[in-house]
Structure 1
Amino acid sequence: MGRGGQQSLARVTVIVRAGAAPMWWLGVLAAAIGVLIPGLTGRWVGLYAGAALFVLSAAVVALVRRRRYGGWGEATSRAGKFDYLQDRAVTLRVWRRAHLWWLVGAFVAAVGVSFAVPIAAGAALAGAG
């Protein structure tokens, strides 16, 4: 050890992208399942609504998170002598394990909504990713 407390420093880009891949793929999978379900509104309405929600959710996430990511980028500093850095794979694994139930819940909700409006919620989830 040494003087100074142990501190961890995570890379901002790793944390930002940690949730993107599982959210994207779960959204695509939920949309694919939604294609198989006719739903209340029909597949074409769900497809058009899903395309609109994909673009809208991607834009909203980009605008809302931009300020947060900018703050993280400004707050970063050079790692000190007694800091320890995690590997990218470790950071990804820790983030995904901590948020597993949120990802599963979003996937189940997107598949559930497919019974009413097919494809739409899965596309929105993919757009958020």
Structure 2
Amino acid sequence: MRRVLALALLSTAPVLACATPLDGTWRVDLTTDPAKPYTQPMQLTLNADGTVTGSFYNSTIEAGRWKDSRGRLCASFRTTDGVGPYHTAICLTGDTATGQTWAEHRNFLFNWNAVRAPTAEPAPTP
């Protein structure tokens, strides 16, 4: 009976985040013309069960997985623009991240780099 109760509790427990260097907010550089810088935010949470949650390009991550192997921490996930899926892969490289996004319905593959988004400074206390 105790095993059944323990399994029931585990199956209803929330998935907890697993603190990794890839967790957090990133600023993705999607610039195509150096004279017109263009970035978008990406928020990643790598969960202990191997799933990824968060958002990219103002779209919620619908499905994602992450893995740390062969000396690399990487994640892959899917978002959508309401017309079709965007498949994104990202790997941590030192303090930066490199990735690519593929949108078959738009016939493009885009390679990009990302840096940690600056953290907001706390408001001064009076």
Normalising by structure 1, report the TM-score.
Answer: 0.29
Normalising by structure 2, report the TM-score.
Answer: 0.30
| More helix as a share of residues | 1
| More strand as a share of residues | 2
